[in-house]
Structure 1
Amino acid sequence: MSRMLSLRVILTVILLASCGLAQAQAPTGVDSLENVVKSSDLPDSVRLDALTRLSGMYQFVNFARSVKYSEDAIALAANTDLPLHKIKAYRNAALLYTISGDYSSALRYDNLALELDMVVKDSAGIAQEYNAIGNDYYDLGEYDDAYFYFTQSHRMASAARDTLRMLIALHNVGRVFKELGQFDQALDHLQLSKKLSETQNDQEGIPYGLYEIGDVLLRKHEYDSALATLRQALALVRKLHVDIIEPKVLSTMATAYLQQNDYKNALAFYDSAYALHQKTTNRYGMAEANLGRGIVLTKEGNFEKALEKFEASLSVARTLNARVLEIKAFNQLSGLWEQKGDFKKALFYYKQYKQLEDTLFSQETQGKLLRDQIRFETESRDTQIAALSQLQVMQRGELKKQEFVRNILVVVMALSAILLVTVYRSGQRRRKINTLLLQHQDDMEKRSEELERLNQVKDKFFSIISHDLRSPINALAGLLDLIDKGAIEPAEMHKHTQELKVRFNHTRTLLNNLLDWTLLQMDKLSLQAGRINLRKIVDENIQLLTSVQNKQINLVNQVPTEAIGYADSNTINLVIRNLMMNAIKFTNDGGKVIIDAKAQASEWLFSVKDNGVGMKPEVLNMLFDKTAPYTTRGTANEKGTGLGLILCKEFIEKNGGRIWVESEEGQGSTFFFTLPKAD
């Protein structure tokens, strides 16, 4: 299902209503506003407000007219210097594009509104636009970016004590967890935001919470509970006239009936959802409903009509850049052609499905989400620490005050020697206890930081393993399944075997890098420095890489025979191999990679130079950052994790050298590192 767009609509409608922009349909008001629009004697600000108000009035009455007024408002706003009126026009346009399912265009106008909110320094508007942009990325399947903007909205709302925006942000974070399959975390956020809606008397927020909770229960295969929750949501939607989410609730209920093999009800609910999406020309919603119809038709054995629905849904998904919907369409087409016995087409669509799914849920995306999640979940902990620090300052002030009073009493009661000694000893004991408490607190903080660092290493390790090991295993499983069914000719086996070979070579390199990287992070890797022949190491790696790489890359060893360094041979061998593999990855077929070394005073300057695609200046500063490994696909679509260069940096530094890179986009790259000379 697509995102719960009405949560963004709540804020838009509230703000429009506060300015008189969301009034109910009233003929007299409409006529007056249309007269204002036609008048050329009135200021642009008045006409711009009138156009925006008219667009809002017609949103659910005459959608085409609403779009026309919005376009006129945007055109007029472009020729004015009225930032607040422009913001209203941009928000209204983004809302209309969202209703129609064009999320890329909605994102464009939400970003324009955000830029102006930052210019006028409207913190409430910035928080609102962060939430809107998060929704746009959510609809486009960019869940890492969606999570970032939702949490940014929550931070700003929390700082401003804006409870409504805080609960909306929590709700949206729960939706991201839902799409990532983290259902328990999703339910925690969604139930909390629903409870806040109830306590804050936010009546319209309750059906949104019920809908998303029902969707999570459906994905957990708790069909009866899911349907009961969705029926509650549908009843409230119709009671409160929250028309926007009604087709989404209907589609989700249809999916629940489909899972229970109740095809009649499933098709009826999908048809109802499709009809409602048609009213607002929501192409995404109609494509999603068509996908559901196609699944029902496939279950009933009507393959030809099902194929029409799937292909129509796929076409719209590609037009709107809706990657989640595109993944679902590829998956259904693969299954359909397999049932029809055309295994070649089934394999084609399966590869498209896996490739897009791997891209959408890549290790880089998971890593970014993990970092954002840690920052968001520790935010409340930081607030508590700040409060404890403030309390500690107050306590210290109180101790100083007590000490001052005590000293006065000592002066006044100078003759009371016994009492003076008692007070003095009491103060000493208090200081000692406070010192011990502060030492204990410092020890606990250090242990907490160490545990968090080790936990991050573990999470990073397993997130990479869970993604990059899955791809070759899934590919092998798919190939074995097709071989078992007799769908692959003997002549095609070589091609598929080569593809699997490339995947497993990548996985083997990944495992070696991961294990070495983990040993480094845990300080378990010991180095044994000695004399190493750099030219011999390069020759061995050229022989190894020539046998496994598919490109026709010319590897040239210009390292002099007298190049003898003093370092750990195993780690330097890994560094040279990683740099050579990196150069091959970003060099086009037929290119050249030159490995050289030059003597400089007491060290060797080693270089790996390629004539590949090169890098932009802003990328150079990101390559060796171990807090956020940077990676991109090679010239032959090779994948990576970003750990190779981080390992190179740490290994070189542990061997007493330095590493850096020089590159120009389109002209290739040269990686340098230094090593001590052997005596």
Structure 2
Amino acid sequence: MSRMLSLRLILTIMVLTTCGLSQAQTPAGVDSLENVVKSSNLPDSARLDALTRLSGLYQFVDFARSVKYSEEAIALAANTDLPLHKIKAYRNAALLYTISGDYSSALRYDNLALELDMIVKDSAGIAQEYNAIGNDYYDLGEYDDAYFYFTQSHRMASAARDTLRMLIALHNVGRVFKELGQFDQALDHLQLSKKLSETQNDREGIPYGLYEIGDVLLRKHEYDSALATLREALALVRTLHVDIIEPKVLSTMATAYLQQNDYKNALAFYDSAYALHQKTTNRYGMAEANLGRGIVLTKEGNFDQALEKFEASLSVARPLNARVLEIKAFNELSALWEQKGDFKKALYYYKQYKQLEDTLFSQETQGKLLRDQIRFETESRDTQIAALSQLQVMQHGELKKQEFVRNILVVVMALSAILLVTVYRSGQRRRKINTLLLQHQDDMEKRSEELERLNQVKDKFFSIISHDLRSPINALAGLLDLIDKGAIEPAEMHKHTQELKVRFNHTRTLLNNLLDWTLLQMDKLSLQAARINLRKIVDENIQLLISVQNKQINMINNVPTDAIGYADSNTINLVIRNLMMNAIKFTNDGGKVTIDAKPQPSEWLFSVKDNGVGMKPEVLNMLFDKTAPYTTRGTANEKGTGLGLILCKEFIEKNGGRIWVESEEGQGSTFFFTLPKAD
């Protein structure tokens, strides 16, 4: 469960128990509230609040009864026009669905609550629902959407100076980085939010932070540190009665024992987690525990029992749209059938696993998440620096308070002259510390500007290659493994090799573009202008592309023989090749690509024209935007990264030219650029 869920639970119970009721109260108090609900002359607003409050009271006492009261509240809310009361009912319903593991239904009710919050213009409620919706998407494995809503919540909380919601948003952003494998960034966010929880007296935030930090350490294979942190989290969870995350902590500890080959403890902790999820009928949690049980049973050689657990987990994951859980189940089923010697089933589940994984962690998703990340880091840097400064000021203030107490004792025993000296020295020391803090803050701002520029290059580079370079290598490794085991028939070999050829051609182009783009960003690429024969460059690229493209595209070179430009030959060669490849990509089989150059007074007007699918007007403005590269698949489902056209623009401009595009949907596109003429 997420840190947001704890906040939602706290706020829900605070709202729903305004009469002073709680789970620990005597049955008489609950009975009196139930009698109020049965009253025939009760106004709808009072009845709706009473039903919602009763549902909240029974959440961890009698979950079935809690659901019953929630359903009655939702049914009544549908026939009323009481937005504030309906918001409470929708939030409570979303919380119940989250506890039971039905995250899609939780998302539906959180969206309903958000709509009403916007209608009544409740900014605090909107920030709360943004965090709740982000948590729903996180639980569904939609990490790009989760990141978006968490950062939206952080922005609203920052504007409202709501420190508690800000630290919760930082915590949740750290969880997203954890799932994406960016463990250092995850730890930075989680440790910062934990420190802020300690300074803000947010006691329940501390076990949440410890649990997530322990999970990150586990994924970094630091097992001893992970288990120590998780044990500390579990102790606090039980002390503070934060029951909602106890099964998650137990399940993560089970995973740690599993990775240390301690199967006995692993199975025991998975069983404990399953039992706690069963109390709240959390189907997702039970399915996750069954997956862990299945892995342990596989390690022990109990394949039939393991298969039963994996299939049970998968049968729950599919209707809940729990794609991360589905990916794990497909992967484990593939490995299990491979160990049992049924390579056909192993290949089937492996394909299911790869297809879903590629969908969930697609390049488009990574790119969107990268852009959101850069924007959020830029916007939140000042906030984080302010939070750290506030933390330092608070710590310094505590030290000064202690010093003041000591000085009071000294005053009682010392002469007035000693007091004056002490006050003077205290003022001097305080001014010196303030000066050092200001210098340190200026230094941090200068470093952050430089790091931001370097991070933009590094993050964009690795976010793209993390998927596109790994995919063909994994595919090749899987194919070689299957060939080695004799699981592929000779008749299928040609099909698989063709698929690999397409993937590696794409990867080769990607590598060339990325390396050139990186050199350009780091100012390591020097241009050597000289006389270049444009027709010759086009001829060479036509011969090259004919040999590697699978479409029957007619490429026509209409560039005059006397077309001599003055530019760097290597970069212009790359520009022409990228534009020709782009034209081939979006032209149907049997189409035509025409390359031409027209003389102008002081320059050549170069064009690459195709009769392909063309583009919508709104797409044209996005093609050369390097802050948000636009990419889409070609007519033969070819993939791209959006870097090619960005490279073209930067190279043309560095060679003293201009580049633009004209296109009409369904009629093809024409890319133009200019180059200086040779003297």
Structure 2 length-normalised TM: 0.79
Matches of 1:530 and 1:368, distance apart in 2: 40
Distance 1:656-1:309 versus aligned 2 partners, 3 A rule: same
Asked if 1:511 is matched to 2:511, the reply is yes
TM-superposition CA deviations, 1:132-187 (whole Å, max 9, x none): 12212221223343334334434443444434323323332332333233445444
* 1:426-505 to 2 correspondences below 5 Å: 449=449, 452-505=452-505
Distance 1:513-1:41 versus aligned 2 partners, 3 A rule: same
TM-superposition CA deviations, 1:323-365 (whole Å, max 9, x none): 3212212221221122112334334433443444445445555
Distance 1:15-1:480 versus aligned 2 partners, 3 A rule: same
SS of equivalent residue, structure 2 residue 4: coil
1:224 deviation in Å?
4.5
Distance 1:70-1:577 versus aligned 2 partners, 3 A rule: farther
SS of equivalent residue, structure 1 residue 194: helix
Distance 1:393-1:137 versus aligned 2 partners, 3 A rule: closer
Contact 2:144 2:366 in 1 (8 A): yes
Contact 2:101 2:285 in 1 (8 A): yes
Q: Residue 331 of structure 2 aligns with which residue?
A: 331
1:472 deviation in Å?
2.4
> How many aligned residue pairs are there?
679
Of stretches 585-594 and 517-526 in structure 1, the one that deviates more from structure 2 is 585-594
Matches of 2:585 and 2:126, distance apart in 1: 41
Matches of 1:417 and 1:61, distance apart in 2: 66
Matches of 2:409 and 2:208, distance apart in 1: 65
Q: Residue 145 of structure 1 aligns with which residue?
A: 145
1:241 deviation in Å?
3.6
1:646 deviation in Å?
0.8
Of stretches 261-270 and 11-20 in structure 1, the one that deviates more from structure 2 is 11-20
TM-superposition CA deviations, 1:362-405 (whole Å, max 9, x none): 55555555555555555575369999999999999999999999
Distance 1:479-1:44 versus aligned 2 partners, 3 A rule: same
Matches of 2:638 and 2:660, distance apart in 1: 23
Q: Percent identity?
A: 95
Q: Residue 166 of structure 2 aligns with which residue?
A: 166
Q: Residue 65 of structure 1 aligns with which residue?
A: 65
Matches of 1:655 and 1:97, distance apart in 2: 59
Distance 1:62-1:493 versus aligned 2 partners, 3 A rule: same
Distance 1:212-1:463 versus aligned 2 partners, 3 A rule: closer
Of stretches 245-254 and 458-467 in structure 1, the one that deviates more from structure 2 is 458-467
Distance 1:233-1:463 versus aligned 2 partners, 3 A rule: closer
Distance 1:271-1:422 versus aligned 2 partners, 3 A rule: closer
Matches of 1:28 and 1:532, distance apart in 2: 93
1:626 deviation in Å?
0.8
Asked if 1:626 is matched to 2:626, the reply is yes
TM-superposition CA deviations, 1:272-318 (whole Å, max 9, x none): 32233233332211221121121122112222232232233234333
Contact 2:4 2:132 in 1 (8 A): no
Asked if 1:407 is matched to 2:407, the reply is yes
Q: Residue 44 of structure 1 aligns with which residue?
A: 44
Contact 2:16 2:49 in 1 (8 A): no
Contact 1:406 1:423 in 2 (8 A): no
Distance 1:231-1:449 versus aligned 2 partners, 3 A rule: closer
SS of equivalent residue, structure 2 residue 315: helix
Distance 1:79-1:675 versus aligned 2 partners, 3 A rule: farther
Contact 1:3 1:139 in 2 (8 A): no
Contact 1:8 1:131 in 2 (8 A): no
SS of equivalent residue, structure 1 residue 18: coil
SS of equivalent residue, structure 1 residue 527: coil
Matches of 1:213 and 1:11, distance apart in 2: 25
Matches of 1:202 and 1:427, distance apart in 2: 33
Contact 2:199 2:391 in 1 (8 A): no
Contact 2:12 2:56 in 1 (8 A): no
Of stretches 452-461 and 644-653 in structure 1, the one that deviates more from structure 2 is 452-461
Distance 1:338-1:535 versus aligned 2 partners, 3 A rule: same
SS of equivalent residue, structure 1 residue 606: strand
Contact 1:3 1:175 in 2 (8 A): no
Alignment RMSD, CA only?
8.2
Of stretches 632-641 and 523-532 in structure 1, the one that deviates more from structure 2 is 523-532
1:91 deviation in Å?
1.8
Contact 2:17 2:53 in 1 (8 A): no
Contact 2:23 2:61 in 1 (8 A): no
1:509 deviation in Å?
0.7
Of stretches 507-516 and 628-637 in structure 1, the one that deviates more from structure 2 is 628-637
1:46 deviation in Å?
3.1
Structure 1 length-normalised TM: 0.79
Distance 1:51-1:446 versus aligned 2 partners, 3 A rule: closer
1:644 deviation in Å?
0.8
1:627 deviation in Å?
1.5
Distance 1:106-1:564 versus aligned 2 partners, 3 A rule: farther
1:556 deviation in Å?
5.7
Matches of 1:388 and 1:349, distance apart in 2: 48
Matches of 2:553 and 2:210, distance apart in 1: 58
TM-superposition CA deviations, 1:466-516 (whole Å, max 9, x none): 443333223333333333334334443323322222222112111221222
Distance 1:218-1:439 versus aligned 2 partners, 3 A rule: closer
TM-superposition CA deviations, 1:543-577 (whole Å, max 9, x none): 33333233455556666778776655443432332
Matches of 1:421 and 1:201, distance apart in 2: 36
SS of equivalent residue, structure 2 residue 52: helix
Matches of 1:442 and 1:293, distance apart in 2: 53
Matches of 1:639 and 1:146, distance apart in 2: 25
Distance 1:68-1:548 versus aligned 2 partners, 3 A rule: farther
Distance 1:133-1:553 versus aligned 2 partners, 3 A rule: farther
Of stretches 45-54 and 447-456 in structure 1, the one that deviates more from structure 2 is 447-456
Contact 1:22 1:57 in 2 (8 A): yes
SS of equivalent residue, structure 1 residue 5: helix
1:270 deviation in Å?
2.1
Distance 1:273-1:576 versus aligned 2 partners, 3 A rule: same
Of stretches 372-381 and 620-629 in structure 1, the one that deviates more from structure 2 is 372-381
SS of equivalent residue, structure 1 residue 588: coil
Contact 2:16 2:52 in 1 (8 A): no
Matches of 2:186 and 2:422, distance apart in 1: 59
Contact 2:83 2:116 in 1 (8 A): yes
Matches of 2:388 and 2:168, distance apart in 1: 29
Matches of 2:223 and 2:411, distance apart in 1: 79
Q: Unaligned 5+ residue runs, structure 1?
A: none
Contact 2:531 2:565 in 1 (8 A): yes
Of stretches 397-406 and 123-132 in structure 1, the one that deviates more from structure 2 is 397-406
Matches of 2:436 and 2:242, distance apart in 1: 60
Distance 1:535-1:322 versus aligned 2 partners, 3 A rule: farther
1:98 deviation in Å?
1.4
Distance 1:550-1:318 versus aligned 2 partners, 3 A rule: farther
Distance 1:15-1:664 versus aligned 2 partners, 3 A rule: farther
Contact 1:51 1:70 in 2 (8 A): yes
Matches of 2:292 and 2:377, distance apart in 1: 36
Q: Unaligned 5+ residue runs, structure 2?
A: none
Distance 1:611-1:136 versus aligned 2 partners, 3 A rule: farther
Distance 1:532-1:93 versus aligned 2 partners, 3 A rule: farther
Matches of 2:389 and 2:92, distance apart in 1: 45
Distance 1:522-1:23 versus aligned 2 partners, 3 A rule: same
Distance 1:606-1:331 versus aligned 2 partners, 3 A rule: same
Of stretches 194-203 and 407-416 in structure 1, the one that deviates more from structure 2 is 407-416
1:634 deviation in Å?
3.8
